[in-house]
Chain A
Amino acid sequence: MSFDTLLQAAVLVLQFDVLLAILGGAVYGLFIGALPGLTATMATALLVPLTFYMAPLPAIALIVSSTAMAITAGDIPGALLRIPGTPASAAYTEESYAMTRAGHAGRALSIGFFFSALGGLIGASVLLLTGPLLARLALNFSSFEFFWLALLGLLTCALVSGSNPVKGGVSLAIGLLIATVGLDVTSGQPRFTFGSVELSGGVSFIPVMIGMFAFSEILRGLSGIGAADASKAATPASDGAMRPYRGILGLLKTYPLSLVRGTALGSSLGALPGVGGDLAAWIAYGVSRRFSRTPQKFGTGHPEGLIEATSANNSGLSSAWIPALVFGIPGDAVTAIAVGVLYMKGVAPGPRLFAENPVMPTSIILSFFVANLLLFPLGYVAIKAARMVLKVPRSVIVPMILLCCFLGSYAINNTLFGVGVMLVAGLVGYVMERNNFPIAPVILGLVLGPVLERNFIMSMQISRGNLMGFFERPVACGLGIFVLIVLGLTVWSAIKGRRTVMAGEPDDSLTS
C-alpha cells in the first residue's frame, strides 16, 4: 500500500459526511448495544434501509462505527444486569457481572471500553498492514482446518463454562441440536421442522440468546435465587467506583500479556471466513484462564480474563473484515450485511478492488480507527450514564427489560414466532441454570453448529469417511492433535478431581 493511497483515503475519511456518519453510527450503536436484548447484528440490519440514501463510504463507515460501538456497549447490560449484548460478550459476562456485584461496576465497564478500543485499534492496524497476507493464508484452509477450529472453539466454551465439563457438554449438545433444526445444509431437506414453515428457516440465535440470558435471569431474580438485581450490587458506597477509566493504566501495566495475546487471537481468528470474531472472545477467555497464574480467581470478578476476551472481541471484529474486503467472503453476519451494502452501491469487494481502487478499501479500514478512537470519549459518557441504570428501581427496570425482550425477539424477523422461541428458551435456560448446566455453550453451539456440520460433512466426503483424513494436512493435523490434547487433559483432570473429592481432599483441579 502506497503512502499516496493512505493519504487519499485519510482525506476521504476526514470529510464532514463521513465523520458525521461515524459519529451518528457510534451514538446509535451505543443506544442499541446498551439496551438488553438488542444486538449489534440487529443494529446493523436495521441500518441497511438508511444506507440506501448514502454514498458508499459513509454507508460502510456508518455500519463500521455502529457495530464497533454496539458490540462494546453490549458489555453494559452484561456487566450491570448479567444480560450479554452479543454472543461474544457472553464469554465474559459472568466475570464482569461478578465484578459489578463486588461493587466495581465502573471498573468492569472501563475495562470493556478501554481494552475494546485498544483491541479495535490494534486489530485495525493488523487489518491495514497484514490483511491481504492473512486472508491469503486463511483462504488456503480447507474444511478440515475449519472443522478443527470450530470444534476447538466449541470445546473450549463447554469446558470453561462452569465447573462440570459433562454438564458443559450437555449444554453444547443441546445448542448444536437446535442448530440442526431447519433445512439440512447438505441435501436441503427439512429436518426436525415438524411441518412448521417458521422452523424451516432454522432457529435464530437472537431470540434464544435473549430468552436464555435475559428472560431466565429475570425469572431467577423473581424467584429469589438469581442475581438480576444490579441495583443491590451497586450500593451508594460503590458510586465512587463508577469513575470512568480509574486505575485502568495500572491494569494495563499489570496485564500487558493479556492485551497482546487477546488482540493476537482476535486478529488471527477473526480473519478466518466463516468463523468470525465471536469465537475469538470465547477462546481468549479460555486461554487466559488456562495460562493464568491465578485461575481460581476466574469467575469472581477477576480482570485478567476480561481484558483478554474484550481485547480479542474488538480486534476480531476488525479483522473479520479481512476476508470480507479482500476476498468478498464475509466472516460473520455483520460483514455479510456490509458486503451486501457494498454490492448494492456498485462496489464489488475482492482482490480486484484492492488492485483497481485501493483508496476505497483503505478508507474503510481507516474508518475503523476513527470509530475505535470514538470509543474512549463515548465510553466515558456511557459509563457515567450507566450509574443511572443502577439507580433505577427493580420494579421499573424489570418490566422494561421484559418488553425489550419481546420487541427484540419480534423485530429480528417481524414475526411473533421469535417471541415464542424466546419464551421457551427462557424457561429451558432457567431450568438448566437451576441445575448447574451452563447456558453459554448452548448459544455458541447454535451459532457455530452450521459451520461445524458443513465442514465436517464436507471433510467426510473428501476423505470418503476415513477419519485419518482429518490429520493428513499439516495445519489440520496440528489443530487436531491440539483438540485431542485439550480433551485428554480435561478427562484426566476430571478423573483426578473426582478421586481427590472421594479421598476427602480439597478439589481444585476442576477450577485450574
Chain B
Amino acid sequence: MRIADRLFGPLLAAFGLAVLWGAAQLPRVPGVRFGGELMPTIYGIALIVFGGIIFLTGLREGGPALDADEWRGRGRAGLAAAWSLAGLLLGMVLFQPLGFPLFGMLFVAVMMGLMGARPLTILIVAPVFVLTLYLTFSGVLRVSLPAGPLGAILP
C-alpha cells in the first residue's frame, strides 16, 4: 500500500503527538529529574519534525494519496497473502487445541495449494517438513510445543 508523503508526513506527526501525550501521562518519580518520559519525548519530537519535513517535501508529488495497486489482479497470490496472515492468526487460536503438528500441516498445505503446488507435492512435503520441525524442536532442542491429538502417537 503506497501512501503519498503529503499524507504520510501528517500521520507521522500525529503519531509523534500521541507519543508526546503518552509520555506526559507517565508517572513521575519524586526526586528523579530525568525520568522515563525523557526519551519518548525526544523521539516524539523527532517524529513530529521528520513528519513535517516529509509533508513539505511531498507537497510537490503527484498521484493519488492512497494506492494499493500492487494487489490488483493478483488472484491466487493475493489469496495466499491473505492466508499467510489469517492462517497464522488462526494458528494463535488453534495452537493449543490442534497442537503444532496438525496446525503446521494445515497451514503449510493450504498455503502450498494457494501458491500452486501439485497435490502430491503437498501430501509429501507438508507432513514430512512439519514433523521434522516438530521432532527437532521438541525432541532435540527441548522447546515445549503442544502435540495436540497427535501426541498419542508422536514420541
Contacts and interface: CB of A to CB of B under 8 A. Distances in A.
Contacts of B91: 406, 419
Contacts of B32: 186-187
Interface string B70-84: 110010011011001
Nearest to A452: B39
Given A166-B54, A465-B33, A222 B74 contact: yes
B88 A223 contact: no
B115 A46 contact: no
Contact of A224 (B47, B53, B77): B77
Contacts of A7: none
Given A170-B12, A192-B40, A403-B133, A46 B112 contact: no
A189 B43 contact: no
Nearest to A456: B39
Given A46-B142, A189-B26, A219-B81, A435 B108 contact: no
A395 B47 contact: no
A218 interface: yes
Interface stretch (A172-180, A270-278, A289-297, A336-344): A172-180
A435 B115 contact: no
A176 B70 contact: no
A435 B19 contact: no
A177 B19 contact: yes
Interface in A444-473: 449, 452-453, 456-457, 460-461, 465
B76 to A, nearest CB: 9
Contacts of A477: none
A434 interface: yes
A169 B46 contact: yes
A393 interface: yes
A225 interface: yes
A457 B43 contact: no
A435 B2 contact: yes
B108 A186 contact: no
A491 B153 CA distance: 64
Interface in B12-70: 12, 19, 22, 26-27, 29, 32-36, 38-40, 43-44, 46-47, 50-51, 53-54, 57, 70
Interface in A403-421: 403-407, 410-411, 414, 416, 419-420
B116 interface: yes
Contacts of A478: none
Contacts of B84: 215, 218-219, 222, 402
B26 A191 contact: yes
Interface size range on B against A: 35 or more
Contacts of A180: 36, 39-40, 43
B143 A457 contact: no
A420 B71 CA distance: 23
A403 B40 CA distance: 34
A441 to B, nearest CB: 12
A423 interface: yes
Contact of B36 (A184, A419, A434, A456): A184
B32, B36, B50, B53: residue with the most chain A Cβ atoms closer than 10 Å: B36
B141 interface: yes
B80 A222 contact: yes
Contacts of A104: none
Contacts of B74: 222-224
Interface in A216-249: 218-219, 222-225
A173 B46 contact: yes
Interface in B69-109: 70-71, 74, 77-78, 80-81, 84-85, 87-89, 91-92, 95, 100, 104, 107-108
Interface string A1-13: 0000000000000
B2 to A, nearest CB: 6
A169 B144 contact: no
30 contacts: A166-B50, A173-B43, A177-B43, A180-B43, A185-B36, A189-B27, A218-B84, A223-B74, A223-B78, A223-B81, A224-B74, A224-B77, A395-B112, A395-B116, A396-B112, A396-B117, A399-B107, A399-B108, A399-B115, A402-B87, A407-B100, A411-B143, A419-B92, A423-B88, A423-B89, A435-B3, A435-B8, A449-B39, A456-B39, A465-B33
Interface of B: 1-3, 5, 8, 12, 19, 22, 26-27, 29, 32-36, 38-40, 43-44, 46-47, 50-51, 53-54, 57, 70-71, 74, 77-78, 80-81, 84-85, 87-89, 91-92, 95, 100, 104, 107-108, 111-112, 115-117, 121, 125-126, 129-130, 133, 137, 141-144
Given A187-B32, A223-B81, A460-B38, 10 more contacts: A46-B141, A177-B43, A184-B35, A189-B27, A192-B40, A222-B78, A223-B71, A223-B77, A399-B107, A399-B112
The 10 residue pairs across chains A and B that have the minimum distance between CB atoms: A184-B36, A395-B115, A399-B111, A395-B117, A222-B81, A223-B70, A399-B108, A187-B29, A173-B46, A46-B141
